[in-house]
Structure 1
């Protein structure tokens, strides 16, 4: 694990170990190909595809970044370094072909990684901190897979941000004209409401980003070593697509990965409620984050496979299409997984189908060894 610009991991044991952790599932016969499944913060040591891929003759790696289980201080550029460490580790151990699979929030991250591995451009985080990715060791991979993935944390976060919140310290003070939970607005939601709603989301995101930059400027002027502060963001699971199935139509049912939408929107365990100033700019700010999946996919040259679940409540068909359309060459494939939910929970037959599809694609592209 390459060192970050400051202490951004709570665990002293993890910092002192200086490592990122992964689990390797080996095929019965030696494999010269490894599929690496990654996410910015989710624990993928036991990812549901690892065993099925190994059973089909392909070594599979569930990779965690240094931010496993806690994204409150996550820096996307450090996640890129962590992937680079893992890819280098696997290359040194003889893997001739490595395919990087981004699941859920890993889709934008893997695109970011390969873009910087092929042609690095990012010299600092949005806050101006290290790392300089143009000087990092980032071995390119041989293929990219986007699996039930969205185009990037900042992009999807803005699509989910609740614009009805008028007081950042009190989420119960709300603007009824921008409240997707007010039955007078829907569902179904009118095109006019959606237009105002999306504009309200972007405006709120930019207000938060403005306060973040002001606060960082204050810290820069303050004597001492304090460089960052934590803060809370309320209302982060409020995309109208969670309730109106006609928007970005698919086979999904109303609701979220965390349960009923209105509850998930405010519950502490759902997306991105706890963050730091510097992490906000790197991870969640739509105008600042470097992790824009379509932008980076457009800078890659390797074969790409995009798979999406038609019953996914998190990543919608337009997310998959934006990733697929961004790939700048014709060596790409878009595959709907009919009836698939976000993590294929309770769907073993679809896990097998996804594994078969991925391995078949590897063979077709000459990436299986």
Structure 2
């Protein structure tokens, strides 16, 4: 049986960070509850900051295995241009509280892909709240929020955090933020003179230039926000475009962290995905940049926050994943500060297990085994 959940949203406070007026007035978060036959006192919640997980591939298999499964959406469903990670934490808190009120005795969070860093941040703030405002100084204050802890975490084909992976993908060859065709050939991933394969010297230069670009954008964001503070019309935020967000060397050089993955990205060839509007994080606002994409300012660093948690944690990674690599999984696993944890490879698994029903079943079995009471 499938039920559409209407979960009251917490902390909206009239702030317009969601385009749709209907969504703002509704004040609801949406979840897709797949119920196990005979009922279950355990709920597994699959979440991502902005992806639509109402039809996530794990929901039906989990319910078939005897646990209730929820595909949760945040208020930023389908549009992360104004996303604040701190509000996503509030949204998970609202969902967990809602499920506790329904009588669920055990709740586990599955952070899939970009959900990995988010569930780590959530449980960290549920156990030991420390974040009092966004990096821009705005609400919410997570130390005063209702954030019920969950009983287990599962990191599924997850990276360590949006700002971390975004910086790993940021194209440092772009020297003019308004013109993606003005490029520095010395750090151009797509200039065949540089590779692939890429030399250690190039990669050192490339990674340094990625950090530099992220920090240049952050400095510009801070400067622009300071100017807006004096704006007589009360404008507090502005949108902008970031070109070149798919320049990860591992997309092209399969000798780097070799796995069973195919070359390229989830959106196709890397040179196209790098500039494709629908790929990662091209559209953002000033305040969202600081919360979501800034390597130095975002609160959502998965390893840092997992180190502040105490619940059993399972880390699953696909050996053919084009987006999240074994080193991402290892960084999450190593950060867990206790021994009630497991790192498990899904051999041949791609990022979304598309067309891999046997591996979907394998992952569902692993999740159910992990969340069952001892």
- TM bin (shorter chain): over 0.9
From 48, 56, 68, give the equivalent of 1:47. 56
Q: Does 1:329 align with 2:330?
A: no
User: For the Cα contact (< 8 Å) 1:37–1:103, is it kept in 2?
Assistant: yes
CA RMSD, 1 decimal: 0.7
Normalised to the residue count of structure 2, the TM-score between the two structures is 0.97
What secondary structure does 2:368 align onto? helix
From 84, 89, 97, give the equivalent of 1:80. 89
What secondary structure does 1:101 align onto? strand
Alpha-carbon separation, structure 2, partners of 1:118 and 1:362: 19
Tell me the residue number matched to 1:214.
Answer: 223
CA shift digits 1:255-294 (9 cap, x unpaired): 0000000000001110000000000000000000000000
From 6, 10, 27, give the equivalent of 1:2. 10
User: For the Cα contact (< 8 Å) 1:20–1:65, is it kept in 2?
Assistant: yes
The alpha-carbon deviation at position 335 of structure 1 amounts to 0.5
User: For the Cα contact (< 8 Å) 2:11–2:90, is it kept in 1?
Assistant: no
Tell me the residue number matched to 2:318.
Answer: 309
CA shift digits 1:35-79 (9 cap, x unpaired): 000000000000000000000000000000000000000000000
Alpha-carbon separation, structure 2, partners of 1:246 and 1:4: 47
Q: Does 1:349 align with 2:349?
A: no
Number of equivalenced pairs: 365
The alpha-carbon deviation at position 211 of structure 1 amounts to 0.3
What secondary structure does 1:330 align onto? coil
Give unmatched runs, 5+ long, in structure 1.
none
The alpha-carbon deviation at position 4 of structure 1 amounts to 3.8
What secondary structure does 1:214 align onto? helix
What secondary structure does 1:13 align onto? helix
What secondary structure does 1:173 align onto? strand
Tell me the residue number matched to 1:120.
Answer: 129
Q: What are the equivalent positions in structure 2 for 1:194-343 lying under 5 Å apart?
A: 194-343=203-352
Q: What are the equivalent positions in structure 2 for 1:168-207 lying under 5 Å apart?
A: 168-207=177-216
The alpha-carbon deviation at position 320 of structure 1 amounts to 0.2
Alpha-carbon separation, structure 1, partners of 2:365 and 2:308: 28
The alpha-carbon deviation at position 302 of structure 1 amounts to 0.3
The alpha-carbon deviation at position 223 of structure 1 amounts to 1.6
What secondary structure does 1:166 align onto? strand
CA shift digits 1:114-133 (9 cap, x unpaired): 00000000000000000000
Normalised to the residue count of structure 1, the TM-score between the two structures is 0.98
Tell me the residue number matched to 2:146.
Answer: 137
The alpha-carbon deviation at position 225 of structure 1 amounts to 2.1
The alpha-carbon deviation at position 362 of structure 1 amounts to 2.3
Give unmatched runs, 5+ long, in structure 2.
1-8
User: For the Cα contact (< 8 Å) 2:12–2:27, is it kept in 1?
Assistant: no
User: For the Cα contact (< 8 Å) 1:81–1:136, is it kept in 2?
Assistant: yes
User: For the Cα contact (< 8 Å) 2:228–2:235, is it kept in 1?
Assistant: yes
